Amino acid sequence: MIEFSHVSKRYPTGHDALRDVNFSLGRGELAFLTGHSGAGKSTLLRLIMLMERPSSGTIQVAGQTLTQLKSAEIPFHRRRIGVVFQNHQLLFDRSVFDNIALPLHISGYHLDDIGKRVRAALDKVGLLSKEKLNPVTLSTGEQQRIGIARAIVNRPQLILADEPTGNLDPELSAEIMRLFMEFNHHGTTVLIASHDLALINQMDCRVLTLNQGRMTQHG
């Protein structure tokens, strides 16, 4: 599903965020991406989403070489990927339902279909009863689950998560990780960037480690 071949990323500041990174993640696999703050985890995820371009090397996602994608093809590429952030970036001026429906409106789904898909996504994260509420009234853990529902509502082939449990206590963090594992059991490929080693060690999953932009362990 993801293949990095000799990928390096130098920012315009001259900083080498990734150096000769090689790894692959198969379809239906789940892995953690770990490493110290500044190791290059977010950069690696941003390259997969095409929010950044590599300075050298090639990246393939779902059989497509990203450098060969034309600008017009980028939205289709991004639609295959569900992204979860630490600070879930929910809109507090609209309901839970509308937050989750947003990517479906952008993709041009029919209203009936939007209702079904939003409720299916809410059901998967266990928050079906909260659709009419404003997300500001929910707990931090619930808000993160709404962020996850929004990421999966398009039924992506790949989920990328950047420090998805950064704001949560250990119990809620484990709950969020169980959700990712459940999506993975249903066939979705999952890559989770996290520096929470205690949590990662509990999970018994493949671990990719970055150190100063180099991948020192790829499981």
Binding site for ligand ADP (CB under 6 A): 11, 13, 15, 17, 35, 37-43
Q: Which is nearer to ligand ADP, 42 or 173 (CB)?
A: 42
What is the C-alpha separation between 23 and 48, in angstroms, rounded?
A: 13
CB of 213 to ligand ADP, least distance (A): 7
Q: Least CB distance from residue 218 to ligand ADP, whole Å?
A: 16
How many residues are recorded in the chain? Answer: 219
Q: How far apart are CA 89 and CA 110, in angstroms?
A: 25
Helix, strand, coil percent content, the chain, rounded in steps of 5:
40, 25, 35
Nearer to ligand ADP, 31 or 149 (CB): 31
Q: How far is the CB of 2 from ligand ADP (least distance, A)?
A: 16
- Minimum distance between the CB of residue 10 and ligand ADP, rounded to whole angstroms? 9
Of 17 and 101, the one with the shorter C-beta distance to ligand ADP is 17
Shortest distance, position 15 Cβ to ligand ADP, whole Å: 5
Number of H helices, E strands in the chain: 7, 10
> Tokens 């950044």, residue?
52
Q: How far apart are CA 200 and CA 119, in angstroms?
A: 30
Q: Give per-residue burial for 33-51: e unless 16+ CB within 10 Å, then b.
A: bbbeeebbbbbbbbbbbbe
